[in-house]
Amino acid sequence: MWIEEVSRALLYERGNTFLHRLDPRVKLAYIAVSALMMFLTENPVSLLALLVLHVLLAGLGGLASKVLSLLKGLALFIITIMALNTVLTYFFSFIDPLSLALAFYGMVVRAVVVLAMFTIFVSTTSPHELTQALMRLGLSRGYAYSMVVAFRFIPIIFAEMRDIYDAQRSRGLELEKGSPLGRIRKLAPIIIPSIVCALLRSKDIAESMESRAFGACEKRTFYRPIRVRVLDAVFITAVLLLQVLCVYPDIVFRIAGVG
Amino acid sequence: MRACPGEVVTTESLVVFEDVWYQYPSGITALRGISLEFRRGELVAIVGANGSGKTTLIKHLNGLLKPSRGRVLVFGVDTRKSNVARLARHVGLVFQNPLNQFFADTVWDEVAFALKNFEGRVNSEKILGVLRELGIDHLKDRSPFEASLGEQKRVALASILVYEPEILALDEPTAGLDYRSKMTLLSILLKLRREGRTVILVSHDLEFIARARIDRLIVLSEGKVVFDGNPREAFYNPELLVASCLIPPQIPRLFIRLGLDGSSTPLNEEEAYVDLRKLGVGVHVDRGG
């Protein structure tokens, strides 16, 4: 089922790949740079090159299967949104089919790249590292922890939703049957328990963190401080250069004196 | 050796597992060649350590999970050729956490849910009957979230019992319950058994099982059935249980230590009392109970 695929892809797993060793701030910078580069170009060849670059990066970190299962899990969702988007664009802006096809292609590539980056970040960054990164970037403790907890609980919430779905199916809930409106109404038995369980869990977490003296000291230090090292510098430079090459090949070649 | 206090356990097999293997998408193999039969009217307990495959096994009963290899037949129908909605009519599954299913405003609506799905209409008498039977009729207009855990577990049980499935499987029904709630649960289970329904109890609460007068015990270990038979035999075999990360209930342990297990094999204090009196141990004290 799609929930299983997604939760498996997003699970943080301890490891020792170079992606695990990177400073989380550098990984965030990587995402920011890549997102920017991706929206600077409409050129199909450049987009394809960027896609190959990110997928290769995930592959080097041993995450290819995770990206694939995230893609598989979200396929229906992505296709629906894109089809809707394409159809609406076609009817309301009267653009020619070729540009439409190109726009569609651009959407697909960007979606896959975003998923790949997301997988790289989520499955190789521990909650501990993420907290530190956010706090070093100036976020206050309360907000940093809220984000980290939310992030940390993604796979757990998905697993819980699967249990809820199983329990309701065992009581005869059939989501596949009925009119479109009826089907939406049928989601209540899934959504309500999910929200209730998430709220109860957040209360439990708050209580257990407070009972372990969360927020007792104004300034906190970290057991294993994160540090930018040579690897990080090499990584971010390489990623930046390669992406500039993908997006502005003519400029790069001119500077290098090739073209 | 004492016979089990069963009335009529027919030999009619309702569910058959034929060399069932199950591998989760994550790659973990949870079941490794399970072959089992569940017969009409028996009260069976499935025990095993955490991760031994108990929950995975019962999720095969109504097709929530389909075997990776082998097959499961429910009333002769291969679960792979059927669907959960059809199978769940015959097999009611009560999950461990009642909060994973509550969504309605009132206990009444919560219990009516499965009835509406399976029968298309609400039979008020049935709902009220089940609520009374489980002693939760006073909660009918309250929210299921307001009830205590013991009551919530009973609401979850009621929401399945109401449509009268022939087979009932309960996952960890005693977890988190106090003594009194456990005894209430036990009397409900025994009543279902008397009605000729098949009850499958998944638990690692061996003390509860020793009290429950079950017909048959199944011990799972690492996805395999390591014991299937008379609970007395398993509870007086500590090696078997310890190898499966379990420990016998207190009374069998005491009788083994005293070396009495050659002549008497009680499962709980009730039976132990009778056996010890026969051996001439102790003085009878009438406490008016």
Examine the domain organization and report whether A88 and A182 are in the same domain: no
Q: What is the DSSP letter of B141?
A: T
| Type of residue found at B279 | L
- Does A218 share its domain with A258? no
CA-nearest residue to A191 within chain B is B103
pLDDT of residue A1: 66
Question: Are the CB atoms for B130 and B111 separated by under 8 Å?
Answer: yes
Whether the pLDDT of residue B1 is over 60: the answer is no
Q: Does A211 share its domain with A237?
A: no
Side by side, which strands form the sheet with B224-229?
B91-94, B167-171, B198-202, B43-48, B216-221, B224-229
Interchain CB distance below 8 Å, A174 and B117: yes
Convert the pLDDT of each residue in B131-149 to its tens digit.
Answer: 999 999 999 999 999 999 8
Of A8, A167, A172, the CB nearest to B95: A167
- Phi/psi at A22 (5° precision): -65, 150
Kindly indicate the confidence band of residue B10, based on its pLDDT and cuts at 50, 70 and 90: low
Task: Provide, as residue numbers in chain B, all residues whose Cβ is less than 8 Å from the Cβ of A189.
Answer: 101, 103, 113
Q: Which DSSP string corresponds to chain A?
A: -HHHHHHHHH------SHHHHS-HHHHHHHHHHHHHHHHH---HHHHHHHHHHHHHHHHHTT-HHHHHHHHHHHHHHHHHHHHHHHHHHHHHH---HHHHHHHHHHHHHHHHHHHHHHHHHHHHS-HHHHHHHHHHTT--HHHHHHHHHHHHTHHHHHHHHHHHHHHHHHTT--TTSS-HHHHHHTTHHHHHHHHHHHHHHHHHHHHHHHHTTTT-SSS---SS-----HHHHHHHHHHHHHHHHHH-HHHHHHHHT--
pLDDT of residue A165: 93
Contact B94, B171 (CB under 8 A): yes
Q: Do the Cβ atoms of A173 and B160 come within 8 Å?
A: no
Whether the per-residue pLDDT at B6 is higher than 60: the answer is no
Predicted pLDDT at B287: 65
- Which residues does residue B170 pair with via DSSP β-bridges, in sequence order? B94, B201
pLDDT in tens, B65-119: 999 999 999 999 999 999 999 999 999 999 999 999 999 999 999 999 999 999 8
Neighbouring C-beta atoms of residue B190, cutoff 10 Å: 16
A102 and A19 together in one domain: yes
Question: Which residue range is the domain that position A70 belongs to?
Answer: 1-125+229-259
**Does the CB of B165 have a partner CB in chain A at under 8 Å?**
no
pLDDT, position B89: 94
Q: Residue A98: what pLDDT?
A: 85
Residue A116: partners with Cβ closer than 8 Å, 6 or more residues away: A54, A55, A57, A58, A67
What was the pLDDT predicted at A12? 84
The separation between CA A45 and the C-alpha centre of its own chain, rounded to angstroms, equals 24
What is the DSSP secondary structure assignment for residue B36, as one 8-state letter? E
- Percent of the residues in chain B that have a pLDDT greater than 70, as a whole number: 94
Distance from chain centroid for Cα B85: 21
Q: Which two tokens stand for residue A256?
A: 């290098």
In a domain, A93, yes or no: yes
Q: Domain ranges for chain B, please list them.
A: 13-246, 249-281
Number of domains chain A is built from: 2
Same domain, A43 and A82: yes
Task: State whether A71 and A170 are in the same domain.
Answer: no
B68 in reach of chain A (CB within 8 A): no
Residue B65: per-residue pLDDT: 95
Q: In this predicted complex, what is the ipTM?
A: 0.87
The reply to whether A25 falls in a domain is: yes
Residue B7 has pLDDT above 50, yes or no: no
Handedness of CA B202, B207, B209, B211 (dihedral sign): negative
CB contact under 8 A, A192 and B59: no
For residues A72 and A154, state if they share a domain.
no
**Inter-chain touch B92–A196, beta carbons under 8 Å:** no
Contacts 24+ apart (CB under 8 A), A217-221: A220/A141
pLDDT band for B11, please (50, 70, 90 cuts): low
A39 exposure class (CB count in 10 Å sphere: 0-12, 13-18, 19+):
exposed
Burial classification of residue B130, based on how many CB atoms lie within 10 Å of its CB (0-12 exposed, 13-18 middle, 19 or more buried): buried
pLDDT score recorded for residue A173: 92
The band of B289, judged by pLDDT with boundaries at 50, 70 and 90, is very low
Are A210 and A256 in a shared domain?
A: no
CATH label, B13-246, candidates 1.10.10.10, 3.50.50.60, 3.30.479.20, 3.40.50.300: 3.40.50.300
Give B261→chain A minimum CA distance, Å. 43
- The long-range contacts involving B253-262, CB below 8 angstroms and separated by at least 24 positions, are B261/B236
Res. B37: pLDDT tops 90: yes
pTM of the prediction? 0.77
Minimum CA–CA partner of B164 in chain A: A171
B99 with A166: Cβ contact below 8 A: no
Give residue for tokens 């855990």. Answer: B149
Is A232 near chain B, with CB under 8 Å?
no
Whether residues A220 and A242 share a domain: the answer is no
pLDDT bin (cut points 50, 70, 90) of residue B4 is very low
Q: Is residue A132 part of a domain?
A: no
Q: Are residues A2 and A116 in the same domain?
A: yes
* Alpha-carbon distance A167 to nearest alpha carbon in chain B (angstroms): 6
Same-domain check for residues A8 and A53 = yes
Q: Determine the Cα–Cα distance for residues B29 and B22; give it in Å rounded to an integer.
A: 6
Residue A130 lies in a domain: no
Name the token pair of B102: 């509550």
Confidence class of residue B23 from pLDDT cuts 50, 70 and 90? very high
The tens-digit pLDDT sequence of chain A (259 residues) is 677 778 778 788 888 899 999 999 999 999 999 999 988 888 899 999 999 999 999 999 889 888 998 988 888 888 888 888 888 888 887 778 888 888 888 888 999 999 999 999 988 998 888 888 988 888 888 888 888 888 778 778 888 999 999 999 999 998 888 788 888 888 899 999 999 999 999 899 999 988 998 888 877 788 888 888 999 999 999 999 999 998 888 887 788 776 4
Cα B268 from Cα B256, distance rounded (Å): 13
State pLDDT tens for residues B171-220. Answer: 999 988 888 889 989 999 999 999 999 999 999 899 999 999 899 999 99
In terms of DSSP H, where are the helices of B120-226?
Answer: 124-133, 149-161, 179-194, 206-211
Domain membership of residue A43 (yes or no) is yes
- Among B59, B84, B103, beta carbon nearest to A192: B103
CA B249 to chain centre: 17
Q: For chain B, say whether A168 makes contact (Cβ under 8 Å).
A: yes
User: Are A14 and A107 contained in the same domain?
Assistant: yes
